[in-house]
Amino acid sequence: MKIYSYLNIEQFSNCYLVINEMTMQALMIDPCKIHPKILAQIESGPYHLDAVLITHNHAGHIRGLSTLRKIYEPKIYAADYEVASSQTIVIKDDGVLRIAGMEVRYFSIPGHSFDSMAFQIGRVIFTGDVITAGLIGKTYSNYAKGGLISIMEAKILSQDDSTVMLPGHGPPTSVGAEKKYNIDIQWNKPPWTL
């Protein structure tokens, strides 16, 4: 498996292209503005774009979906039907998909948005906006913030410290780094555990 990262400079959002070199298949996570380099990467294989995974329905993470659908015919997985209407394969809760010859685990992590999902392939988790290096995603109250942190602790931060996290914004991070240095996660801990 190879992972290519693309930064949409207009909204500073990350798009990821995951390649299975054994099967010549690919999937994309959060197609921000589609740059010609992304298309060249797919075509240079040539790889078959099997699926697009959406972490949440915010413009910076789905902007390029209409372009991809004009060129390819990928399956679209998201927790919000509105992402691509009848073309959306709606996923809920937690589960496992087999896409592009790879096992993709998905986790429902509401808090930043009602439809926030994280996707895991091997030891890499694509977190969307639920976590960014050093911070968690924006929420509308301290209650929602605490709930988001609790869900993340159970589903993401409980994994091995070396697990890589690729967020919707900002640089890569790891489970271990976030447990130790994420200011929002530290905020949620009772003072006697610090």
Per-domain residue ranges of the chain: 2-131+164-171
Which two tokens mark 113?
Answer: 């948005």
CA atoms of 72 and 50, how far apart (whole Å): 9
Could you identify the residue written with the tokens 């959002």? 13
Task: Quote the pLDDT of residue 105.
Answer: 98
User: What global pTM score does this model have?
Assistant: 0.92
Cβ distance 112 to 41 under 8 Å? no
Is the separation of the CB atoms in 35 and 13 below 8 Å?
Answer: no
d(CA 5, CA 102): 18
pLDDT recorded at residue 111: 81
User: Between the CA atoms of 3, 112, 52 and 79, what dihedral angle is there, to the nearest 10 degrees?
Assistant: 140
Whether 134 and 171 have beta carbons less than 8 Å apart is answered as: no
CATH dotted code for 2-131+164-171: 3.60.15.10
Backbone angles phi, psi at 51, to 5 degrees: -155, 160
| pLDDT per residue of the chain (194 residues) written in tens, 0 to 9 | 999 999 888 778 999 999 999 999 999 999 988 888 899 999 998 999 999 999 988 877 888 899 999 999 999 999 999 888 888 999 999 999 999 999 999 999 988 888 899 999 999 999 999 999 988 888 888 888 888 999 999 999 999 999 999 999 999 999 999 999 998 888 666 554 54
Which pLDDT belongs to residue 184? 85
**How many degrees, rounded to 5, is the angle at CA 165 between CA 159 and CA 167?**
140
CA 96 to chain centre: 15
